């Protein structure tokens, strides 16, 4: 049975391209390379506007205000002629704006911002569509469809994922419909949503030493998008990039680990898999299962943490809790300390080299060894795929 392909609209708002008003970067007077400014999001005000899952509030999903903070504080919001009360929940790389007081039949919000008037459609909340789902989600740009499908099939097979959300960041190698058609054929998924997300991604900022990835507004906002618009009623949420696979859990899966965690948060510690293939390169494009080598010195092969989450926990009702790449911003440290832990694998050979060229990142064979754990994982995975006739 093929997956149900969902489709949505978003309500982005941008400042006029020709206008002088724009978001300035941190320490704007510091010199940066041209690439930083070409990917820096200076004009986006809102990525999406949608109803909260409780149906009583409207949420604006935004980049952080930064130099536009005074304009945001002076902004005014209306729905069906009624003025709305606004509360701002700011994080380093994203912001949620809560609008209260809108009539339940409101279909748009009028915003007065910096002397300009905007009419913003209010989109539906899809949490009921994904209610009870085990959702794996990611962001993509031009990754080969073979990689996307292998990534998805693995998490459906080894972790019982049955919901998938993919944000496509302006791929030009194929259309979103091509991704949908490819994912619809993968056994195990009941709901698939591909969100067109073609805005500026941001890049590492060499102008600051502390938190140099602060300008990745788009990806950080996508995490809150999943939690607040799609996944509030899900059984669990798992974030993995296309080049990452969550380690199997004996007799269970990462979603159940998050569900059973005292905090609802399941930490995944990363391990690099080197860009070394077993034997001869295959005639087809290499996929995850072609790589099983890791560094002998385990300390050199460790990677940043990722996570799985039980979205039903009461502490997540606070809109100040905003997910990001490696943690939940504002999550109480007392909850972090009681979180369960697992692991994941990060594959150097599964990459389009968009950030830096990993194809030349091959350590000498003497420094590497074939991982029996990884080889066993792939053997189990391939056996299950074969038994299901995929």
Q: What are the sequence ranges of the domains in the chain? A: 8-121, 134-387
Instruction: Give 359's pLDDT tier (boundaries 50, 70, 90).
Output: low
Residues 286 and 289: their CA atoms lie apart, in Å, by 8
**Lowest-pLDDT range of 114-118, 139-143, 351-355:** 351-355
Please give the pLDDT value at position 365.
74
How far the first Cα of the chain sits from its last, in Å, is 12
Q: Which residues contact 290 (CB under 8 A, 6 or more apart)?
A: 277, 278, 281, 282, 349
Please give the pLDDT value at position 72.
98
> Considering the chain, what percentage of its residues have pLDDT values greater than 70?
96
Q: What is the mean pLDDT of residues 20-45?
A: 93
DSSP 46-90: ESEEEE-TTSSEEEEEE---GGGHHHHHH-EEEETTEEPEEEEEE
31-41 pLDDT, tens digit each? 899 999 999 99
3-state class (DSSP) for residue 132: coil
Is the pLDDT at 358 greater than 60? The verdict is: no
Is the pLDDT at 101 greater than 60? The verdict is: yes
Q: Give the distance, in angstroms, between the CA of residue 184 and the centroid of all CA atoms in the same chain.
A: 20
Pick among 3.30.310, 2.60.40, 2.20.28, 2.60.120: CATH of 8-121 = 2.60.40
Please give the pLDDT value at position 241.
97
Nearest to 195, CA basis, from 220, 171, 162: 171
**Continuous segment of H or E residues that includes residue 150:** helix 145-159
| Total-model pTM | 0.95
Is the domain defined by 134-387 classed in CATH 2.40.10?
Answer: no
- The answer to whether the beta carbons of residues 221 and 131 sit under 8 Å apart is no
268-303 pLDDT, tens digit each? 999 999 998 877 777 788 999 999 999 988 777 788
Is the pLDDT at 156 greater than 70? The verdict is: yes
Instruction: Give 367's pLDDT tier (boundaries 50, 70, 90).
Output: confident
Is the pLDDT at 356 greater than 60? The verdict is: no
Is the pLDDT at 27 greater than 90? The verdict is: no
DSSP-assigned letter for residue 109: E
Is the pLDDT at 338 greater than 70? The verdict is: yes
If you average pLDDT over every residue of the chain, what do you get? Answer: 94
Is the pLDDT at 209 greater than 90? The verdict is: no
Residues 255 and 370: their CA atoms lie apart, in Å, by 28
Nearest to 150, CA basis, from 252, 257, 20, 282: 282
Residues 178 and 174: their CA atoms lie apart, in Å, by 6
Spell out the SS3 assignment of 316-347: HHCCCCEECCCCEECCCHHHHHCCEEEEEEEE
Residues 67 and 301: their CA atoms lie apart, in Å, by 39
Is the pLDDT at 52 greater than 70? The verdict is: yes
Is the pLDDT at 389 greater than 90? The verdict is: no
Q: What is the mean pLDDT of residues 103-119?
A: 98
Q: Which residues contact 163 (CB under 8 A, 6 or more apart)?
A: 130, 133, 134, 135, 136, 189, 190, 191, 192, 234
62-87 pLDDT, tens digit each? 999 999 999 999 999 999 999 999 99
Q: What is the mean pLDDT of residues 159-165?
A: 98
Instruction: Give 1's pLDDT tier (boundaries 50, 70, 90).
Output: low
Please give the pLDDT value at position 361.
61
Please give the pLDDT value at position 299.
77
């Amino acid at each position: 049975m093929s997956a149900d392909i969902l489709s949505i609209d978003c309500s982005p708002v941008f400042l006029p391209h020709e206008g002088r008003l724009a978001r300035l970067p941190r320490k704007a007077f510091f010199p940066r390379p041209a690439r930083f400014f070409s990917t820096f999001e200076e004009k986006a005000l809102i990525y999406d506007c949608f109803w909260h899952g409780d149906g009583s509030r409207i949420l604006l999903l935004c980049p952080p205000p930064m130099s536009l903070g005074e304009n945001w504080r002076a902004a005014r919001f209306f729905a069906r002629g009624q003025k709305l009360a606004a509360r701002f929940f700011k994080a380093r790389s994203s912001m949620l704006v809560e609008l209260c007081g809108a009539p339940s039949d409101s279909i748009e919000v009028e915003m007065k911002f910096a002397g300009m008037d905007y009419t913003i459609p209010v989109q539906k909340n899809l949490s009921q569509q994904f209610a009870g789902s085990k959702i794996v989600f990611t962001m993509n740009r031009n990754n080969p469809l073979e990689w996307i499908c292998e990534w998805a099939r693995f998490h459906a097979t080894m972790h019982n994922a049955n919901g998938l959300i993919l944000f496509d960041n302006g791929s030009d190698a194929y259309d979103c419909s091509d991704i949908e058609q490819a994912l619809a054929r993968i056994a195990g998924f009941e709901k698939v949503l591909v969100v067109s997300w073609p805005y500026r991604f941001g890049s590492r900022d060499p102008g600051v030493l502390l938190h140099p990835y602060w300008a990745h507004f788009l990806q950080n906002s996508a995490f809150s998008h999943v939690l607040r618009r799609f996944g509030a009623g899900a059984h669990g949420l798992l974030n993995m990039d296309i080049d990452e696979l969550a380690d199997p859990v004996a007799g269970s899966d990462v979603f159940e680990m998050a569900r059973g965690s005292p905090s609802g948060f399941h930490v995944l510690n990363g391990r690099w898999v080197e860009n070394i293939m077993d034997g001869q390169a295959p005639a087809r494009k290499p996929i995850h299962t072609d790589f099983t080598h890791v560094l002998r010195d385990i300390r050199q092969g460790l990677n940043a943490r990722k996570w799985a989450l039980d979205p039903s926990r009461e502490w997540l009702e606070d809109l100040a809790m905003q997910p990001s790449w490696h943690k939940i911003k504002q999550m109480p440290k007392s909850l972090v300390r009681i979180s369960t832990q697992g692991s994941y694998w990060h594959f150097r050979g599964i990459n389009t080299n968009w950030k830096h060229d990993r194809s030349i990142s091959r350590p000498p064979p003497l420094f590497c060894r074939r991982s029996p754990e990884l080889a066993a994982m792939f053997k189990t995975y391939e056996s299950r795929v074969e038994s299901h006739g995929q």
